[in-house]
């Protein structure tokens, strides 16, 4: 390759490559997009990429690159003025974040996640002249304090600093990011109370603070009245995040990221799951593994657009509020490992559940009408006796049809009791996997209906 070689402005869909990248790649001085995602180079990131003076987008996602980020990828004048998308996640890069990244003033997306980078995050990462929209440093080796230099008027929409060793407080300057939609700070060593300024982030869609705040007190009821973006859900809003992400991936990025580039792992539908497609979980509150106490505030029902709520592993007490029944978009509710004490209504009728009905706690109080229509269930209050003499386990393990699970319903809610109190769960719909007892709080007004996801056709 020479600088005079006729060549397109974009190199993308380059898959199934291995070995070394030729140094002559650096001669393509008109190249604007370089997409090498999902290859197996097993070499160092080539320094010749740093000479691509017209480059606006670099994507080397999941390429098995190793070594340190080359200094030559830094701010030669032409590159620093144009580069907008810098995605080098899921490689084996080592060392610290190089300081020359601070000079990439046109950055729109910076994704350094899932490498072996270490050291303290640069404070400049919050100060990219207001243009940075996505910042992802998810990993395991960053330490020190979180960047606290986010400016007024910042365009930051997504920040992921999860799974590191960051300490101190949640950065107050995030309050300047008025359009922030996704904040994921879980699994660090941050020691802070629930930030008052979070109530000012009206566009917040997904909030994740797991194992973060050791002494929390009451759930922030008043904030549930402020987060306007969580109050609505319609088709145009559910498409918004997808369109936003499309703006910084190639036109055919679903070829490389069939379920979307940005992923998030949370307790959803009864288990820890990685969701790779943000539109499916666009609005959620995940405050598990903290020390919230008191009752679940009724103001949470203001957030009509919520699809995921996880308040697991706290010290919440009292009743499950009936107002949760008004959250008609809710797909997953996890209240496990709390001290909730009251279950008024149980209905698991006309499903394909099998095994003995648990006899512990409140279950004996529910009548025949709560579980009939399941031909393979046995034990009281049903007339069919248990098929063995062993007492049912307290965990209320009931197994469902695997064949039915292949078309599972969207609605799955699991509520596992704590310290010998309620041990129950919920799946909405008629399709069950192996699960704990499923209950449907009819008096809460939730409608029982099966919804099938429509797989969008990608051009």
In the DSSP assignment, the letter for residue 205 is: -
pLDDT on residue 144: 92
Predicted pLDDT at 69: 81
**Averaged over 248-258, what is the pLDDT?**
31
Q: Residue 343 burial by CB count (10 A; 0-12/13-18/19+): exposed, middle or buried? A: buried
Whether 428 has a pLDDT exceeding 60, the answer reads no
Over the stretch 394-413, which tens digit does the pLDDT of each residue have?
A: 333 333 323 222 233 333 33
Bigger pLDDT: 300 vs 343: 300
Q: Tell me, what DSSP letter sits at residue 182?
A: E
- Could you tell me which residues are beta bridge partners of residue 143? 165
Query: Which has the closest alpha carbon to 421: 325, 323, 333, 316?
Result: 316
Tokens read off for 344: 């008024």
**Residue 213 structure tokens:** 């705040």
Sorting pLDDT into bands at 50, 70 and 90, what band is 143?
Answer: very high
Compute the average pLDDT of residues 55-74: 81
Domains and CATH numbers, the chain: 1-85+94-106 (3.80.10.10), 349-449 (no CATH)
Mean pLDDT rounded to a whole number for the chain:
68
Predicted local distance difference test score (pLDDT) of residue 458: 41
Q: Are 324 and 300 in contact (CB under 8 A)?
A: yes
User: How far is 9 from 31, CA to CA, in rounded Å?
Assistant: 5
Closest residue by Cα to residue 116 from 43, 62, 59, 67: 67
Question: Average pLDDT, stretch 37-50?
Answer: 81
Nearest to 391 by CA among 367, 419, 359, 422: 359
More confident position, 245 or 87: 87
What would the pLDDT profile of 334-378 be if each residue is shown by its tens digit?
Answer: 888 888 876 666 666 777 777 777 665 566 666 666 777 777 778
- Global model pTM greater than 0.75: no
pLDDT number for residue 214? 54
What percent of the chain stands above pLDDT 70? 60
């Amino acid at each position: 390759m020479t600088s005079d070689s006729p060549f397109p402005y974009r190199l993308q869909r380059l898959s199934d490559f291995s070995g070394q990248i030729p140094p002559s790649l650096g001669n393509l001085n008109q190249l604007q997009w370089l997409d090498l995602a999902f290859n197996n180079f097993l070499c160092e990131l080539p320094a010749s990429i740093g000479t691509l003076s017209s480059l606006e987008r670099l994507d080397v996602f999941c390429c098995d690159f190793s070594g340190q980020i080359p200094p030559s990828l830094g701010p030669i004048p032409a590159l620093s003025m144009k580069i907008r998308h810098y995605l080098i996640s899921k490689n084996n890069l080592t060392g610290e974040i190089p300081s020359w990244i601070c000079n990439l003033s046109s950055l729109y997306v910076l994704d350094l996640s899932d490498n072996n980078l270490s050291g303290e995050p640069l404070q400049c990462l919050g100060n990219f002249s207001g243009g940075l929209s996505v910042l992802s440093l998810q990993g395991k080796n960053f330490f020190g304090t979180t960047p606290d230099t986010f400016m007024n008027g910042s365009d930051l929409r997504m920040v992921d600093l999860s799974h590191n060793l960051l300490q101190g407080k949640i950065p107050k300057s995030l309050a300047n990011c008025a359009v922030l939609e996704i904040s994921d700070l879980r699994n660090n060593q941050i020691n802070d109370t629930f930030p008052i300024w979070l109530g000012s982030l009206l566009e917040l869609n997904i909030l994740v603070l797991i194992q973060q705040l050791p002494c929390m007190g009451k759930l922030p009821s008043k904030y549930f009245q402020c987060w306007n973006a969580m109050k609505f859900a319609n088709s145009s809003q559910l498409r918004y995040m997808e369109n936003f992400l499309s703006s910084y991936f190639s036109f055919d990025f679903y070829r490389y990221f069939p379920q979307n580039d940005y992923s998030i792992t949370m307790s959803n539908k009864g288990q820890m799951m990685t969701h790779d497609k943000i539109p499916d979980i666009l609005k959620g509150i995940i405050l598990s593994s903290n020390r919230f106490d008191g009752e679940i505030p009724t103001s949470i029902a203001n957030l009509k657009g919520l699809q995921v709520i996880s308040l697991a592993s706290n010290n919440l007490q009292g009743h499950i509020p009936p107002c949760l029944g008004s959250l008609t978009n809710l797909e997953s509710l996890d209240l496990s490992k709390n001290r909730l004490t009251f279950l008024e209504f149980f209905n698991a009728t006309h499903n394909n559940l099998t095994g003995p009905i648990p006899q512990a706690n409140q279950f004996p109080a529910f009548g025949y009408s709560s579980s009939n229509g399941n031909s393979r269930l046995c034990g009281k209050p049903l007339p069919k006796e248990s098929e063995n003499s062993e007492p049912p386990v307290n965990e209320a393990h009931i197994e469902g049809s695997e064949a039915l699970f292949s078309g599972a319903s969207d609605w799955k809610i699991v509520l596992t009791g704590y310290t010998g109190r309620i041990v129950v769960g919920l799946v909405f719909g008629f399709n069950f996997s192996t699960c704990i007892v499923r209950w449907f709080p009819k008096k809460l007004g939730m409608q029982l209906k099966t919804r099938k996801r429509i797989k969008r056709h990608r051009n």
